[in-house]
Amino acid sequence: MEGGASNEVAESSKKIGRGKIEIKRIENTTNRQVTFCKRRNGLLKKAYELSVLCDAEVALVIFSTRGRLYEYANNSVRGTIERYKKACSDAVNPPTITEANTQVSF
């Protein structure tokens, strides 16, 4: 045996994987809900992993089509949102020279 069959198996196993899906609204309500649940859980897991691996402050807020709230924060969602708002307002109102020279530590 020269390995012809084993090469075919190896080549076909390289092609096995998740196929790409077209990113568009899922029309079937049941399928859409199942996909939402799976992707929501995956997104929450990724948010947790990012916060742990990179010591990042993470807040994630998700509202379902039914209006249900899902959230994750490694600290406080409210605190992270307040920090975000402050960062946005600081970007609109650049700091003065004395504020720019002040070192911020966390």
Angle at the Cα of 50 (from 24 to 47), degrees rounded to 5? 45
Per DSSP, helices labelled H in the chain are 4-15, 29-54, 77-92, 97-100
Whole-model pTM: value is 0.67
Return the CATH superfamily for domain 28-100.
Transcription factor, MADS-box (3.40.1810.10)
**Per-residue pLDDT tens over the stretch 31-46:** 999 999 999 999 999 9
**Per-residue pLDDT tens over the stretch 53-86:** 999 999 999 999 999 999 999 999 999 999 999 9
CA 92 to chain centre: 26
